[in-house]
């Protein structure tokens, strides 16, 4: 453990804080975090921790979700500028237009990678690990899936009984990965299993042996008898993959699989946010109630 990591551990004791991190942040943060996981795990854990302060190491929608699920807790973001571009790729105006057309038949299903504003206008949230279960459990025959058209398309294929309306949005990192990028990795490692995040394009998920969330990918590789894997998501997952599977080999594709926003969070920024110990994320009470409702419904429907 280095000096900065040790300082964080001292500070978090002093401030009664818990460190939560997504699998895409830097290794040295995952190493000292109390909880590391996918978006669903982080949302669920945020409702269970007893510490008064949550330091959320990830992009801003993750901090907002933690705050919405725990209004009475202090939620600190080490780098508030770390933002998921896809979180902004839908509009309230379009949601209202769709509601006008389809009335009660439509459910607006909002991937958690979205702003609190979009959540406040949605019926239910989903993550990549529970989207299928949640969408199937909804009574509505029409689903307006925002903001990610790729996750929406992937889910729609498994729920043919519902009509899906898609939105023109997607993760810049996952959508940049092409089938040629995966194929060139497969050419080098022909026996490897291909593990893909559902934010990828359909031409890429079509090559997968397994499709799932970051946690799903890590669990699949850990349980598998296979020894080699091509990892088709952001490369932060490599830390946990290698930690849990020291004997197995993990290869990236030929694409650039780095989320620069996730990498903006650093040990120095965690130290600074703990030392300053400001009031943390704040939102209007009425707005929080609206944005909290779809997250709460997600947790209920995915249990
Ligand atoms: P997971 O919920 O699978 O961790 O995904 C979060 C994310 O941002 C993927 O790009
Ligand atoms: Fe957003 Fe993509 Fe980064 Fe995930 S990897 S946080 S979806 S930009």
pLDDT over 90 at 272, yes or no: yes
For residues 165 and 36, state if they share a domain. no
pLDDT of residue 86: 98
For residues 78 and 94, state if they share a domain. no
For residues 231 and 217, state if they share a domain. yes
For residues 159 and 294, state if they share a domain. yes
Q: Which uninterrupted H or E stretch holds 174?
A: helix 172-176
Which pTM does this prediction carry? Answer: 0.96
Whole-angstrom distance, CA of residue 263 vs CA of residue 38: 16
> Mean pLDDT throughout 148-165?
98
For residues 7 and 145, state if they share a domain. no
CATH of the domain at 271: 3.40.50.10800
Would you say residue 257 lies in a domain? Answer: no
Q: To which residue do tokens 């290698």 refer? A: 242
For residues 153 and 200, state if they share a domain. no
| pLDDT single digits (tens) 279-298 | 999 999 999 999 999 999 99
The residue to mutate among 65, 77, 113, 149, having the most atoms of ligand 2 within 8 angstroms of its beta carbon, is 113
For residues 164 and 294, state if they share a domain. yes
Q: Is the CB of 140 under 6 A from ligand 1?
A: no
For residues 157 and 185, state if they share a domain. no
For residues 150 and 202, state if they share a domain. no
| pLDDT single digits (tens) 101-124 | 999 999 999 999 999 999 999 999
Would you say residue 236 lies in a domain? Answer: yes
Would you say residue 215 lies in a domain? Answer: yes
Would you say residue 51 lies in a domain? Answer: yes
| pLDDT single digits (tens) 195-204 | 999 999 999 9
> Mean pLDDT throughout 14-37?
97
pLDDT of residue 251: 98
Within 6 A (CB) of ligand 2 lie 59, 84-86, 113, 171-174, 199, 234, 259, 261-262
For residues 159 and 189, state if they share a domain. no
> Mean pLDDT throughout 155-166?
98
Q: How deeply is 204 buried, as exposed, middle or buried, from its count of CB atoms within 10 A (0-12, 13-18, 19+)?
A: buried
Ligand nearest to C-alpha 257: 2
pLDDT over 90 at 246, yes or no: yes
Rounded to the nearest angstrom, the distance between the alpha carbon of 87 and the centre of ligand 2 is 9
pLDDT of residue 277: 86
Task: Provide the percentage of residues in the chain whose pLDDT is more than 70.
Answer: 100
> Mean pLDDT throughout 202-209?
98
Say whether the ipTM exceeds 0.90: yes
For residues 77 and 90, state if they share a domain. no
Q: Beta partners for 106?
A: 142
Strands 17-22 and 53-57: parallel
Ligand 2 atom nearest the C-alpha of 85 is 8
How many domains in the chain? 3
Would you say residue 256 lies in a domain? Answer: no
Residue 126 dihedral angles phi and psi, to the nearest 5°: -140, 160
> Mean pLDDT throughout 58-75?
94
**67 pLDDT tier (thresholds 50, 70, 90):** very high
Count of beta carbons in the 10 Å neighbourhood of residue 273: 24
The whole domain housing 226 covers 178-251
Q: How deeply is 98 buried, as exposed, middle or buried, from its count of CB atoms within 10 A (0-12, 13-18, 19+)?
A: middle
pLDDT over 90 at 303, yes or no: no
């Amino acid at each position: 453990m280095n000096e900065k990591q040790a300082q964080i551990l001292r500070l978090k004791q002093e401030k009664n804080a818990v460190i939560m991190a997504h699998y895409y942040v830097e290794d040295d943060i995952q190493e000292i975090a109390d909880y590391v996981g996918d978006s669903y795990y982080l949302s669920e854990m945020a409702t269970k921790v007893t510490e008064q302060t949550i330091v959320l190491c990830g992009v801003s929608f993750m901090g907002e979700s933690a705050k919405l699920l725990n209004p009475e807790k202090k939620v600190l973001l080490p780098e508030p500028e770390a933002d998921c571009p896809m979180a902004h790729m839908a509009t309230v105006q379009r949601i209202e237009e769709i509601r006008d057309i389809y009335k009660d038949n439509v459910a607006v299903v909002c991937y958690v990678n979205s702003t609190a504003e979009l959540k406040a206008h949605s019926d239910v949230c989903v993550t990549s690990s529970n989207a299928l279960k949640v969408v199937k459990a909804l009574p509505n025959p029409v689903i307006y899936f925002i903001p990610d058209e790729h996750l929406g398309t992937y889910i729609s294929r498994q729920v043919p009984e519902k009509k899906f309306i898609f939105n023109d949005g997607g993760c810049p990192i996952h959508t940049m990965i092409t089938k040629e990028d995966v194929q060139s990795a497969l050419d080098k490692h022909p026996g490897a299993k291909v593990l893909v995040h559902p934010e990828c394009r359909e031409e890429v998920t079509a090559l997968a042996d397994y499709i799932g969330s970051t946690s799903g990918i890590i669990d699949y590789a850990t349980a598998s008898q296979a020894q080699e894997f091509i990892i088709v998501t952001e490369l932060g997952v490599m830390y946990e993959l290698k930690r849990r599977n020291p004997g197995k080999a993990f290869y990236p594709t030929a694409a650039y699989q780095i989320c620069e926003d996730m990498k903006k969070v650093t040990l120095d920024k965690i130290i600074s946010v703990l030392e300053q110990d400001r009031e943390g994320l704040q939102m209007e009470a009425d707005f929080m109630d609206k944005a909290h409702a779809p997250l709460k419904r997600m947790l209920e429907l995915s249990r």
